[in-house]
Structure formats: structure tokens, C-alpha cells
């Protein structure tokens, strides 16, 4: 054997392959490095054998290995071009092969799990990257196990050797995020209606179906969780036919967790959901259905192309805001952002154009070309009507500008959020914010604190009251401090909601009792099946913004569900409850309550304040008043100095003189003294108001 052969690594020597092993082929020696001694089958080769001839031989091997490496790189490039995960989803398909759909369901019926399985089966997400609730990218969503934001994902699916592009939009299920659902429905032609095969039709199932029908979507019923022991798919299918009126003879039975029936769902999406209309020759019109703020790239817009096409570098025009930009980057969401050169009719994608002002690209706006503008904009979205209001104040007053910027950026991502500046004598500068519900309020507060590092105080939730003044004016009032004096107002109206509760029949009595306690007006009761009933009440929104939902769940052991809608304003016997400390009204603690509840709320507030306000050198009366009438009162006794300590005896008149002098001093001190209510007291009373209200 020659010297060059001796210097070759072990992998170059032919050897017999054992069971289950392949013969190893040569590796590259281009770097000139040798393997360790452990890789040689025989004794370690001598150093002097590395002669000029061996070097030449080694150089020759290096050339061969480099050539082989070039060939393998070319082959791998071909593999990348043909089938690298993700790249095939960027390949264009005809407009007739595009399907836009969303998933709608009641909360916790398995939407996110089904979306995960669709992404997995179509190869959109690789197994190594897969995790539960893949599209829920907020920590808050994962912690609570709910979907808060709609998420889009592009998938590629091949049926009968024909490739299809499927654009999925996953939606939230809670009633407080119904605005997110309505926005996603407007960007689709079809919807998967997911119903839990063990729980059946719930309140939000109905609400979402009606939203889908309003948008003329093709609805595909899906019965999920059929693997559960308590699943009754046949009963639930009948229930859906009776309550919703959908034909469930072709309903798909599946288990998203176990992967049963997922292929059938994909086939139904392709065969039953219609493609978008082909208007590729028309001027560009694209509907913005979501957006968010990126600190490096500015506003990132999610849109669906309705007419025409858009290319990277095009000069675009936002029809509502009147601003124009260059489309620096366009792409698709699959589910991560992937850049493309062009998007056309029916496709869903994102756009980055270095938009720094959050007001320039609002949800519902229409994008068109600057040079070839569309004749009219798309209908957009109906403005969300806030139901619940509260004040948000920074604990540190210096954070007020940061809070304003954070709210503007968050409003870009959450179009249902409304806010306006507000000033409080106790808490300084802040904002009066409007939300769709209590959960929405809680989520916004938590997102502000987590994503923007703010520390906030939240006032008790309230609603908008309508005040009919004596001079004929009508004032909308969401803050008790803005309520006109009793002599200037004729009546106060409060918002009412129609609430539908679906419950098993054994809990009907406890829910009726809850409705009566909350000043509810009973409307009707229907047995939708043999064991489930629907209760409909109309009750004041102010009674529902407290712990109504918690009470509903606890009284029915979690089996009941609810859905509500605004029905209008009605006149009620409402009063403004003021809190006076040492004769001075404290505006931040004022609240609007029903006359029947005024005493209970007033008593609770005065007792709590007595515990929280530090004692002074003089007696402090704490009073809850309706107008000029005091309905609840507590007093904080004074800190007394023992002025009799120097008297070791003597006449009683001497002691009386000292006590009289002390009383006069206390009286003078009370007249000029001011009571400072500490911040902790305000926060504790606000928490108490939330509980009592």
C-alpha cells in the first residue's frame, strides 16, 4: 500500500457492512485535517509518511471532495427549490383555487386545536416547531387558554393532484371579542362552525352563526371532540338542525386532538367553499382587517386583496386617511411572515411601508394604487360601540405620555378600544377608556402593563348614562363627576341589554333568581331540547358589568353560557352617590347607583374609608350622601393629647378649663385642617366599588 493510501482516513477503506449499516463513503479532506486516531482501523500512521507525494495525493482527494461537495450543494438547492418546507406555499395558483375561510365557535370548543392540526397536516408547520395553540402568539393567550386576537395563516393543500391555496383566519370565541370575529368574517367566503360534541350548541355559537349568515358565508358544520366518553354527536347534530336551522346531514365528525377527520375537513373546504370573484383586471382595492405596530418597521398592515393586484415597490394610497406610501415589503402569513413580489385577487397578506403614524392605516381602510385609484372604497367595518368604561391612570404621573403612546399603538391592534383624556383630583392625568366587556377591559389593562411596562390604576367599571336636562338638552355621561345637579336634570336613562342564557334544566330556578336580583325583566323561556332551556332577560348593563358572569358560572357549576346584545336606553330611578370627608366632597369616589342599592353601597364605602384614612388631631366625619341627604355615616375619632396628665389632683374646675381649651383648639383645627386621602385608600375603595357594584 502506498504512503498516500496509508494517510487516508478509515472511511476511505472498504469494509464489510454489518446488519442495518451502510458502507460509509469518503468525507472531505479539503481542510487538510486528519481524523483522530480512534477513526483508523489499524495502528496510527507515521508522521514521516506525509511526503510530497502524499500531499499531492491529498490535494487530489481534496479536489475530488470539493467537486462532490459542489454537486451535493446543487442537488440540495434543487431539493430546496422543489420542496423546502414553506417555500411551496409561495407558489401561485389560479384565483379559482383560492379558498378563504375562518373557524368560528363558542369559547373552549377546540378552534385553536383544530387550527393546529390543519397547519400540521398541510405541512405548514413542521413537527419540530409544533406547539399547542400555535397561532396564539401572546403569552396572555397561552396562560388563559383563550384566543384574544384573530390570526391568519396560508396553507397549501393538494387534492386530486391540483394544488389549492387555503387562507385560514382563526378567531376568538368569547363574546367580548366578537368585533374580532366580524372583521375576520368580512375577509372570507366560508366558515367552519365548530361545536363540541359533548356540550352542544352554546350561546356564542348562535351569535357567531348569525354573524356568518349576515356576511353570506358558506358554513361547514364540524362536530369536534368525538373521542370524549361523553360525546353525543348525533344528539348535537339534531340540536344544531333544530336551533340553528343548518343541514347537518353532511356535518363532519372529528377529533382535533386525536387527528380524526382532519383530511375530510380539508376536502370539504376545497369542494364546498366558493373561490373569490376574479376581478384581477380592476383597479386595486384591498381591505385592511388587522394591523400592529413594529418598533423597527412601523405599522404592519394585514389585508385581503378584493380587486386587482399589488406588487412590491408600488406607490399605494389609503383612501380613508388620504395618505400615500411605497410598499417596501409585501408577503404572506404562513403563519410567519414570508416575502413575495406580488399578491392578487383573493390572497391574504401583509404590507410594510415605513408607516410611522398609527392614524394613517386604520382597520377597515381601503388600499388602492396612487396612480390608478379605485372609484369607491370598500364598505369597511361598522364602528364598535363600547359597553363598559373605566379610567386608566399611571401610578407615576411622569408615565402619562408613555400611556398615551401605548394606547394609540394598542388601538391599532385592537380597533374596539376607545379612549379620551381625563383628569382626576385624586389620581392626576389619565384616560377614560371604553371596552366591549369586562374581559376586554382586563386584557387591555394586562397588555398595557406587560407589553409597554406601565403600572396602572383602574377605576371601577361604569356605563354611559343618558341625562335628560330640564332645558331639553340630552347629555351622555360616563363619569359621575359630569352629572348635572338634581335641579337641572329631568331624568336619567341607562343602557339595557338583552341577555340569552342557555342552561341545563336543573339550574333554571337559580338563574331566574339571579336575573331578578339584578333588576332583570323576564321575557321568555324556551326548551331548545329535552334537557336544555334558553332564558331571555332584559336587564341594565350596569348590573352586568360586575360579577354577573362569575355568578352565572358558579350557580350552574360551569354548564351555562350567555350572550348579550344592546337593546337601547330606558329611564330608571338612578341617583348620584357622593362621599364627603370632613364636609368636603371627594369627586373620584362618587358613583351613580340605583336608588334601591344606594344605602348598601354607601354603608360599605364609609366603613372601608374609616379603616383606610389615617387618624388626625381632630374628629373626621365620613358621609355618603344622595343630594343633601346623608344616608350612611361613620366618624374617625381624633388623636387626643392627655392634657390632664400634669394635674396631680386639685379642683375639678382646673381640669375643665384645660379640656375646654383643648376642645376650642380642635374646633379651630377642624375648620382649617384638610384631610389627605392616601393613594392606597383610593385603590382599596375602587376595588371595593367593583365588588359592591
Contact 210, 142 (CB under 8 A): no
**CB burial readout 176-206, b (16+ within 10 A) else e:** bbbbbbbbbbbbbbbbbbbbbbbbbbbbbbb
651 is in an annotated binding site: no
Q: Residues near 285 by Cβ (< 8 Å), separated by ≥ 6?
A: 305, 306, 307, 308, 366, 367, 368, 374, 377, 378
Q: Residues near 463 by Cβ (< 8 Å), separated by ≥ 6?
A: 387, 388, 389, 478, 494, 495, 541, 542, 545
227 is in an annotated binding site: yes
171 is in an annotated binding site: yes
Compute CA 533 distance to the chain's CA centroid, rounded to the nearest angstrom.
30
295 is in an annotated binding site: no
174 is in an annotated binding site: yes
- Burial of residue 162, with CB atoms counted within 10 A of its CB: 0-12 exposed, 13-18 middle, 19 or more buried: exposed
Q: Helices (H), strands (E): how many in the chain?
A: 16, 31
Give the CA distances from residue 439 to residues 24, 499, 515, 614, in Å, rounded to whole numbers and listed in that order.
62, 17, 21, 35
70 is in an annotated binding site: no
Residue 349 CA to residue 333 CA, distance in Å, equals: 6
DSSP letter assigned to residue 134: T
Residue 447 CA to residue 454 CA, distance in Å, equals: 9
111 is in an annotated binding site: yes
Phi, psi for 541 (deg, rounded to 5): -65, -35
172 is in an annotated binding site: yes
104 is in an annotated binding site: no
**CB burial readout 396-429, b (16+ within 10 A) else e:** eeebbeebbebbebbbbbbbbbbbeebebebbeb
Instruction: Detail the DSSP E strand segments found in 401-488.
Output: 418-424, 428-435, 456-458, 465-469, 474-477
- Burial of residue 126, with CB atoms counted within 10 A of its CB: 0-12 exposed, 13-18 middle, 19 or more buried: exposed
106 is in an annotated binding site: yes
Compute CA 307 distance to the chain's CA centroid, rounded to the nearest angstrom.
30
DSSP letter assigned to residue 242: H
Residue 202 CA to residue 196 CA, distance in Å, equals: 9
User: What length is written for the chain?
Assistant: 693
- Burial of residue 278, with CB atoms counted within 10 A of its CB: 0-12 exposed, 13-18 middle, 19 or more buried: middle
Residue 231 CA to residue 242 CA, distance in Å, equals: 19
CB atoms closer than 10 angstroms to residue 320: 15
| Residue entry with cell 376581478 | 279
CA dihedral in degrees (441, 443, 445, 450; nearest 10)? -170
Contact 395, 448 (CB under 8 A): no
224 is in an annotated binding site: yes
105 is in an annotated binding site: yes
| Residue entry with cell 469518503 | 26
608 is in an annotated binding site: no
585 is in an annotated binding site: no
CA atoms within 13 A on the CB side of 8: 17
Closest of 396, 395, 402 to residue 451, by C-alpha: 402
Q: List, as residue ranges, the binding site.
A: 105-112, 170-174, 224-227
Q: List, as residue ranges, the binding site for GTP.
A: 105-112, 170-174, 224-227
Amino acid at each position: 500500500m502506498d504512503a498516500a493510501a496509508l494517510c487516508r482516513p478509515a472511511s476511505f477503506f472498504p469494509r464489510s457492512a454489518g446488519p442495518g449499516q451502510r458502507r460509509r463513503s469518503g468525507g472531505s479532506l479539503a481542510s487538510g485535517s486528519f481524523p483522530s486516531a480512534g477513526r483508523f482501523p489499524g495502528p496510527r500512521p507515521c508522521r514521516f509518511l506525509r511526503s510530497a507525494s502524499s500531499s499531492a495525493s491529498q490535494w487530489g482527494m481534496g479536489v475530488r471532495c470539493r467537486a462532490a461537495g459542489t454537486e451535493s450543494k446543487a442537488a440540495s438547492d434543487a431539493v430546496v427549490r422543489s420542496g423546502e418546507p414553506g417555500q411551496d406555499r409561495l407558489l401561485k395558483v389560479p384565483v379559482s383555487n383560492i379558498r378563504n375561510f375562518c373557524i368560528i365557535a363558542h369559547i373552549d370548543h377546540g378552534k385553536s386545536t383544530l387550527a393546529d392540526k390543519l397547519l400540521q397536516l398541510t405541512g405548514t408547520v413542521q413537527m419540530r416547531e409544533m406547539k399547542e395553540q400555535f397561532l396564539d402568539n401572546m403569552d396572555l393567550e397561552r396562560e388563559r387558554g383563550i384566543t384574544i386576537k384573530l390570526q391568519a395563516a396560508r396553507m397549501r393543500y393538494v387534492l386530486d393532484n391540483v394544488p389549492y391555496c387555503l387562507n385560514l383566519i382563526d378567531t376568538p370565541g368569547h363574546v367580548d371579542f366578537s368585533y374580532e370575529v366580524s372583521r375576520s368574517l368580512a375577509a372570507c367566503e366560508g366558515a367552519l362552525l365548530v361545536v363540541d360534541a359533548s356540550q352542544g350548541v352554546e350561546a356564542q355559537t348562535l351569535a357567531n352563526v348569525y354573524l356568518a349568515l349576515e356576511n353570506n358565508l358558506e358554513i361547514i358544520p364540524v362536530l369536534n371532540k368525538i373521542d370524549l366518553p361523553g360525546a353525543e354527536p348525533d344528539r348535537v347534530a339534531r340540536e344544531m338542525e333544530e336551533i340553528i336551522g343548518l343541514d347537518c346531514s353532511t356535518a363532519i365528525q372529528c377529533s382535533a386532538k386525536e387527528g380524526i377527520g382532519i383530511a375530510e375537513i380539508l376536502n370539504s373546504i376545497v369542494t364546498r367553499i366558493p373561490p373569490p370573484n376574479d376581478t384581477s383586471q380592476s383597479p386595486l382595492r384591498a381591505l385592511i382587517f388587522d394591523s400592529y405596530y413594529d418598533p423597527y418597521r412601523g405599522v404592519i398592515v394585514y389585508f385581503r386583496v378584493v380587486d386587482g393586484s399589488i406588487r412590491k415597490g408600488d406607490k399605494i394610497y389609503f383612501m380613508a386617511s388620504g395618505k400615500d406610501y411605497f410598499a417596501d415589503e409585501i408577503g404572506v402569513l404562513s403563519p410567519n411572515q414570508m416575502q413575495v413580489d406580488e399578491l392578487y385577487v383573493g390572497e391574504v397578506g401583509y404590507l410594510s411601508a415605513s408607516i410611522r403614524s398609527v392614524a394613517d392605516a386604520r382597520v377597515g381602510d381601503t388600499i388602492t394604487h396612487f396612480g390608478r385609484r379605485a372609484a369607491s372604497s370598500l364598505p369597511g367595518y361598522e364602528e364598535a360601540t363600547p359597553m363598559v368604561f373605566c379610567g386608566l391612570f399611571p401610578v407615576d404621573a411622569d408615565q402619562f405620555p408613555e400611556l398615551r403612546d401605548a394606547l394609540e399603538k394598542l388601538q391599532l391592534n385592537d380597533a374596539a378600544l376607545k379612549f379620551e383624556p381625563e383628569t382626576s383630583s385624586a389620581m392626576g392625568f389619565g384616560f377614560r377608556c371604553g371596552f366591549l366587556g369586562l374581559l376586554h377591559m382586563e386584557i387591555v389593562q394586562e397588555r398595557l402593563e406587560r407589553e409597554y411596562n406601565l403600572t396602572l390604576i383602574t377605576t371601577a367599571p361604569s356605563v354611559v348614562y343618558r341625562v335628560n336636562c330640564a332645558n331639553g338638552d340630552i347629555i351622555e355621561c360616563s363619569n359621575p363627576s359630569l352629572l348635572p345637579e338634581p335641579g337641572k336634570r329631568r331624568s336619567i336613562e341607562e343602557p339595557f341589554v338583552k341577555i340569552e342564557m342557555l342552561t341545563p334544566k336543573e339550574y333554571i330556578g337559580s338563574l331566574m333568581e339571579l336575573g331578578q336580583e339584578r333588576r332583570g325583566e323576564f321575557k321568555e323561556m324556551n326548551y331548545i331540547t329535552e334537557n336544555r332551556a334558553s332564558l331571555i332577560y332584559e336587564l341594565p348593563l350596569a348590573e352586568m358589568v360586575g360579577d354577573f358572569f362569575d355568578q352565572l358560572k358558579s350557580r350552574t357549576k360551569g354548564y351555562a353560557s350567555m350572550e348579550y346584545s344592546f337593546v337601547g336606553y330606558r329611564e330608571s330611578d338612578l341617583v348620584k352617590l357622593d362621599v364627603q370627608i370632613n364636609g368636603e366632597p371627594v369627586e373620584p369616589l362618587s358613583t351613580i347607583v340605583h336608588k334601591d342599592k344606594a344605602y348598601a353601597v354607601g354603608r360599605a364605602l364609609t366603613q372601608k374609608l374609616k379603616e383606610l384614612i389615617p387618624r388626625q388631631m381632630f374628629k373626621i366625619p365620613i358621609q355618603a350622601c344622595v343630594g343633601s341627604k346623608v344616608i350612611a355615616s361613620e366618624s374617625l375619632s381624633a388623636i387626643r393629647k392627655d392634657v390632664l396628665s400634669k394635674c396631680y389632683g386639685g379642683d375639678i374646675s382646673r381640669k375643665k378649663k384645660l379640656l375646654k381649651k383643648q376642645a376650642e383648639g380642635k374646633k379651630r383645627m377642624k375648620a382649617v385642617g384638610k384631610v389627605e386621602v392616601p393613594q392606597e385608600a383610593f385603590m382599596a375603595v375602587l376595588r371595593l366599588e367593583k365588588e359592591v357594584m
